[in-house]
Structure 1
């Protein structure tokens, strides 16, 4: 890349002259392309992202006919009924929906904005730093326009990613995050049909299985009040540690031909977004992997309980879904590109076993009570050894709390501390 040419733009003659007709034409094209960015307060040109995603999706979106809509709504309502006896968490569904691919884009873009803006802000700031202070006056309007280039780049990438993802996702919560509006349980019939044909699965059983998973996710996120903020906060904590490689940014910008905006579509942001691997980021990643595994495991276990022998293909359906998540489906790949994070529930099988064993030992009430506070959740060590974790638990309801309520001897004088230490052993819990 020539050091004489700022941003690596392939313009002969070295430093561009703002008065040159060709440069003026290029600036006019950049102005048009970035006009929307300058009017937005955030780091991403979301209008551009939405427009690109809609344009790319519209031609390949079969929509939703009346039959598919009816079957979807019926499956979601039935699934919610099946879940009632196997969990203490009430229904979290206020609306059922059969989404087209464009519906999915429209209903999830606000959540993607929350997830992507922290990383995009870093990239936009990094691109602004590429203009040396001593060159700003020389470049004039070009330097100002470059401030919006990062917004356009990220918006272009996001639009492409959402369009691709819209052809693959099956429900609003498939990746474990509530991407759609609260209380709206949604399935994408066109994508579900394509997925079923690829695996030779019965349409009605696949529809009910995914409806069960969707309805179970909504119960969790609707009635575990801290969960959504915890998951999103952990994602944001991880994203805040993303390192933007200035050299990679400069190289990526150097591939752009301002006279051909479509050259932005070939950029690979995964080469720009690099994890710093700091202790804080490692801790955030560990928390996120654990809670995603616990969510997916709880959903899988409760779905298996609710389905019982009603779905003959349940073993195959469960196995295929586990493989889809473990392999990193399109949703995880998109998330990795846009947020720099591999979003996949590691130890999903162990988490499913853990919830199953907790149900056997403590019952449904005792199992679901664990969601009452994040400090009660099993940690990564518990996922690594579900049997050991469950065998080490004891029921707090078996302890005579009146001793502590009355300010027992151990609290006042400490003379009974040895006896207190023996308590759990005597319980043989």
Structure 2
């Protein structure tokens, strides 16, 4: 992973090296004139450092004072910066919103004929970029917090216990500064992404509220300018994809949780090279935190760069396979529903597939925010598997596979679909049987453990004596 999470950039400061070499060259070597630069840090000077940091925080903006800025990411700052980068946005005209609602209703009618899964949309929406941010920020919090927590807490784990006690207030301030830095980068990224996404499910994840089929008229208009298909066909095609996603997310109860859990597992599996942290901590001068140029250098030394782990690799494979199966299924049912009605369906599907495979704007921004590239590499294979499965067993049996995660094709099945299709034709339900058996065994183990704890609490060695 070449880039640091949240896209910190080093920047150029030709005077930085000069300040380091010349302690008397001004505030860069000793920001307080208290003898810090070039020498060992004196803990008795912490008061001056805290005062200087307080001045820095007080200038961060009065708007944050009444918000919720605690936590690894300052989401109040993120929202403010995103809104500022978007600027004024005119409301979506009623005529446009009505056209999108009509397109979704038409798409739902056509989808009814190709899948037994019922409609999953409860209402339609035409979002402005600002409305997209307001409706998806809660999901972004869940996606971004695990990575931010890993980085914000790595400081404390690298310091000796005695140092933690002495530097507690300073580390708390460092955490707050990190939350502001993450919030700033998140706000800028979401502001850009809000003008590029086409629907609420554009990256394959359920970012918006459940059951709300939302399209982005401004981004769709920009996309349509470079395509040959009529705008009405493009809107109907995207409405069908959005509606198909919601059929899965609404009627496959475990799907949304499984997707978000896989992203969280990837983030929580992030490991930091502690040897670099420990080496940095030995020579760390807290006074450097008050010099913006030193802070910039600190964030870009590469010591916080995540390292790939086996846990991350496993989580990434699960996520990629699940995303490929979702996107492949959506492509299959949308193509079947629209293929004879909208001539450009095949070309539009290929355009979106290439957009995903090469890492479109949504994927690039997600990779910056979470450190994870959402590129379902086997999306074409997944679509081919769903097509062949439909021909072999019909739509009802095909969509019955979504009843339980253990029934879904594996990554190996995408490479060799014939074996999976043969099992489906033969009515193989060993996957669900084993899942039920495993759940029963876990329940029995839990009951035995709870019974053992209860017995020990009543009669064990720690029980109160009369």
- Give the TM-score normalised by the residue count of structure 2: 0.74
- Equivalent residue, structure 2, for 1:276: 308
1:353 is aligned to: 384
Shift of 1:108: 0.2
Residue of structure 2 equivalent to 1:175: 203
In the TM superposition, residue 42 of structure 1 has moved relative to its aligned partner by 2.9
CA distance in 1, matches of 2:230, 2:241: 17
Corresponding residue for 2:109? 81
Q: Deviations over 1:247-284 (max 9, x none)?
A: 58979x99x986769x97xx789994524321x32221
Q: 1:108 to 1:218 in 2, by over 3 A?
A: same
Q: 1:111 aligns with which of 139, 153, 170?
A: 139
Preserved CA contact (<8 Å) 1:49 1:158? yes
Q: Which runs of 4+ in 1 moved over 6 A?
A: 130-140, 248-251, 267-271
1:29 and 2:60 aligned:
no
Q: Tell whether the 8 Å contact from 1:83 to 1:302 is kept in structure 2 after alignment.
A: yes
Contact 1:63 1:101 in 2 (8 A): no
Would you say the 8 A contact 1:273–1:340 is kept in 2? no
The secondary structure found in structure 2 opposite 1:97 is strand
Q: 1:245 to 1:332 in 2, by over 3 A?
A: farther
Per-residue deviation, 1:387 = 3.7
Alpha-carbon RMSD: 3.5
1:311 aligned counterpart, secondary structure:
coil
Q: How many residues align?
A: 387
| 1:54 maps to 2:86 | no
Aligned position for 1:71: 99
Measured against aligned partners, the alpha-carbon deviations of 1:174-204 in whole angstroms (never above 9, x if no partner) come to: 1111000001000000001101113344211
Q: Could you tell me how far 1:146 is from its partner in structure 2?
A: 1.6
Deviates more, 1:110-119 or 1:235-244: 235-244
Q: Does 1:340 align with 2:383?
A: no
Q: How does 1:233-248 map to 2 (within 5 A)?
A: 233-245=261-273, 247=276
Contact kept, 8 Å, 2:147 with 2:270, in 1: the verdict is: yes
**Structure 1 residue aligned with 2:71:** 42
Answer yes or no: is the 8 Å Cα contact 1:269–1:338 preserved in 2. Answer: no
What does 1:24-423 correspond to in 2, within 5 Å? 24-33=51-60, 40-59=69-88, 61-128=89-156, 142-245=170-273, 247=276, 272-278=304-310, 280-396=311-427
> How far did 1:295 drift?
0.3
How far 1:392 moved relative to its partner? 4.9
Say if 2:339 and 2:346, in contact at 8 Å, map to a contact too. no
Gaps of 5+ in 1: 399-429
C-alpha change, 1:397 and 1:349, in structure 2 (3 Å) is closer
Q: Distance in 1 between matches of 2:424 and 2:150?
A: 44
How many Å separate the matches in 1 of 2:107 and 2:57? Answer: 51
CA distance in structure 1 between the aligned counterparts of 2:341 and 2:142, rounded to whole angstroms: 39
Shift of 1:27: 3.1
**Match of 2:425, SS?**
coil
SS of the residue corresponding to residue 198 of structure 1 reads coil
Where in structure 2 are the equivalents of 1:12-23 lying within 5 Å?
12=30, 13-14=36-37, 15=41, 17=45
2:155–2:277: 8 Å Cα contact kept in structure 1? no
Gaps of at least 5 residues in structure 2 are 1-16, 31-35, 430-466
- The answer to whether the 8 A contact 2:273-2:307 is kept is no
CA distance 1:102–1:127, shift in 2 (3 Å)? farther
Deviations 1:84-120 (A, max 9, x none): 1100100000010000000000000000111111111
Q: Please give the secondary structure, in 2, of the residue aligned with 1:147.
A: helix
Q: Is the 8 A contact 1:171 1:188 kept in 2?
A: yes
**Secondary structure at the residue paired with 1:86?**
coil
Q: 1:157 to 1:323 in 2, by over 3 A?
A: same
179-188 vs 338-347, greater mean Cα deviation: 338-347
- In structure 2, relative to structure 1, the CA distance for the partners of 1:232 and 1:36 (3 Å cut) is farther
Tell whether the 8 Å contact from 2:136 to 2:208 is kept in structure 1 after alignment.
yes
What's the TM-score once normalised by structure 1's chain length? 0.80
Larger displacement relative to structure 2 (147-156 or 103-112): 147-156
Alpha-carbon distance change, 110 to 11 in structure 1, aligned in 2, over 3 angstroms: farther
